[in-house]
Amino acid sequence: MNPKRRSFFETLAVHGLQSNHTQGPDLAPSIRLSSTFRFESAEQAASVFDGSEDGYVYSRIANPTVDQLQEKMAVLEKGEAAVAVASGMAAIASTALTLARPGSNFVSCTTVYGGTFAFFNRDLARLDIEARFIPPAPDLSVTKLDKLIDAKTRFLYLETPANPTLDILDIEKWAACAKSHRIPLIVDNTFATPYLQSPLSLGAEGVIHSATKYLGGHADCIGGVVVGRRDLIEQMKDVYIHHFGPVMSPFTAWQILRGIKTLVVRMDRHCINADRVARFLNNHPKVERIFYPGLSSHPGHAVAARQMKQFGGMLGFEVAGGVEAGKIVMNNVSLCTLAVSLGDCDTLIQHPASMTHSPYPKEERRKAGITDGLIRLSVGIENANDIIADIDEALAKV
């Protein structure tokens, strides 16, 4: 079969544009651990350095195994190019520092990962780069967004579904606004993965992933990826990656390549399980509120149904009795694991206000809709009946 004819996501996740990425008989991609690469002659070395000949020089600049991951992610996200880095935060920092300048600003949705908020609100402020926040809403008025944009605005940024409230933002609406101001829209697609959502197809110009999560899928590696236009990715490499050096290791790239092969089957199971758990919690007398875009009662349900293939494996809920009741639940689960991060095969439960989103000042957390009683659940791929029974037993202790 001609590789150019491969169009189904499931096939591309396994094969990419090639049946495999090896030059020998190995089926699995090779891990090229070398830090530096040999040249055949001084003339070849000079040609590689001046760009007239392709080749590898040093793994901080480029590495064959990392390149395999970058190629596959560009294909899956329908982008021109990709760069893989050491973590999701490295992906976010690399993007922001490439696009912004001292004295400039950018606009972000209020509800983002806690580390992202701290970087935007505190660290970039030290570099005289201003973050302007707007509350997430599926029906956000473009007029409200326009009012935050001026001649110094360098990009728009959003998460959808947002962490940890599962707010849904309309990517096409944000992208249209960005294009009207001739600035890029950057979307953190970690919760959805390229299988469930394609921001570039909806008008975004850059997509960010914490590859630690669903792409790796097994809680055993840390990595990040940015996908977008070739000129944006090359600028990012030249301006930030090559000299600041937040590069991904070849072994990590290999782990994520392996994880991507099973992304589709894992995500299908995550989504099925999350839907069942959400509907169980939605009808439980001790649960006051449920955050899951797959429920028709969710404010962003219609937008999520339009721009996502399925509704994802993440959900949040509030237990009657507030923070103390939530602690009882988290302290009495046995199958679910009390741990940060998400996208693992195991079901993970945590308290955003005191854990992942503790970098938010309390008032800012409230503005972002992150209540003190919110519990976040990353639903795993175990049998849904066992997950539900575990949470039900813990709720019985409240």
Q: For this structure, is 213 an active site residue?
A: yes
Predicted confidence (pLDDT) per residue in 41-80, tens digit: 999 999 999 889 999 999 999 999 999 999 999 999 999 9
- Active-site residue among 32, 113, 360, 390? 113
Q: Write down the pLDDT at residue 44.
A: 94
Task: Please choose, from the candidates 159, 98, 91, 85, the residue with its C-alpha nearest in 3D space to the C-alpha of residue 127.
Answer: 98
- Residue tagged active-site, from 213, 237, 365, 376: 213
Q: What is the pLDDT of residue 41?
A: 95
pTM of the model: 0.94
Q: Does residue 60 have an active-site annotation?
A: yes
User: What is the DSSP secondary-structure string of 142-172?
Assistant: HHHHHHT--TTEEEEEEESSPTTT-----HH
User: Is residue 150 annotated as a catalytic residue, yes or no?
Assistant: no
The one catalytic residue among 167, 170, 188, 344 = 188
**pLDDT at 171 > cutoff 60:** yes
Of 284, 275, 252, 389, nearest to 334 by C-alpha is 389
The two tokens of residue 233 are: 């990715």
Three-class SS state of 204: coil
Residue 346 token pair: 């195991």
Question: pLDDT for 16-29, tens place per residue?
Answer: 876 545 556 778 88
Residue with tokens 């020089």: 57
Would you list the DSSP string of 89-108? HHHHHHHHHHH--TT-EEEE
Mean confidence (pLDDT) of the chain: 93
Q: Which amino acid is at 376?
A: R
Domains of the chain, first to last: 7-261 (3.40.640.10), 263-395 (3.90.1150.10)
In the chain, what percentage of residues exceed pLDDT 90? 83
The catalytic residue among 60, 258, 286, 309 is: 60
Would you say residue 338 has pLDDT above 90? yes
Judge whether residue 322 has pLDDT over 90: no
